[in-house]
Chain A
Amino acid sequence: KAGVTQTPRYLIKTRGQQVTLSCSPISGHRSVSWYQQTPGQGLQFLFEYFSETQRNKGNFPGRFSGRQFSNSRSEMNVSTLELGDSALYLCASSRAGSYEQYFGPGTRLTVT
């Protein structure tokens, strides 16, 4: 069974631009969560989607948004990029009712 895939793997953007990251969960998984990983703050929860609805949201500004499609694929968008948004963005998927999350390899975003 294919794992969680994220595209692109690497991205370089300029301050003020916006970016969209994509995540395809494991087949049959309906929950998709997003995390930001930085050396200073570690792993921080962004949001979680289930059946196209946002169920949980972390403490990030409104510049960070996401959505989920009917096939469970998810996208996250960051508008008006700041240097501090440089990070590894990880997506994780879960089966409904399971305690386990499966992570993708991440998208490395660099903002210059």
Chain B
Amino acid sequence: GDSVTQMEGPVTLSEEAFLTINCTYTATGYPSLFWYVQYPGEGLQLLLKATKADDKGSNKGFEATYRKETTSFHLEKGSVQVSDSAVYFCALKEDSGGSNYKLTFGKGTLLTVNP
């Protein structure tokens, strides 16, 4: 079945450092890919998405490119802020013509940004 593997955390960075969180996936067909963020005590918020190969999702300075050849969707940000401290989840939605809303998630990566 479908699966998502993302780098184990925790990741600790200083403010303004460069961030990369690796994510690879296993799926049949052409899944849609997502990054979600979870702040302490809250539910998940969609950060960005990509629905086909070579698409680049971007939001709030974060970017991720859908690489089918390497089955990857790595999250990057050029300069992190303390407010980016959260848990980040990579997820996929299988290619089922839009009738299947099941998301498969990675284990999550805790990011802590120090001032």
Contacts and interface: CB of A to CB of B under 8 A. Distances in A.
Interface of A: 4, 31, 33, 35, 42-45, 48, 50, 55-56, 58, 90, 92, 94, 97, 99-106
The 3 closest A-B pairs by CB, nearest first: A103-B43, A43-B105, A103-B44
B89 interface: yes
A56 B89 contact: no
> Of B36, B100, B102, which is in contact with the most chain A CB atoms at under 10 Å from its CB?
B102
Contacts of B104: 45
Given A101-B46, A105-B42, A94 B102 contact: no
Interface SS of chain A: strand
Nearest to A48: B101
Contacts of B46: 100-102
Interface in B61-103: 89, 93, 98-103
Contacts of A94: 101
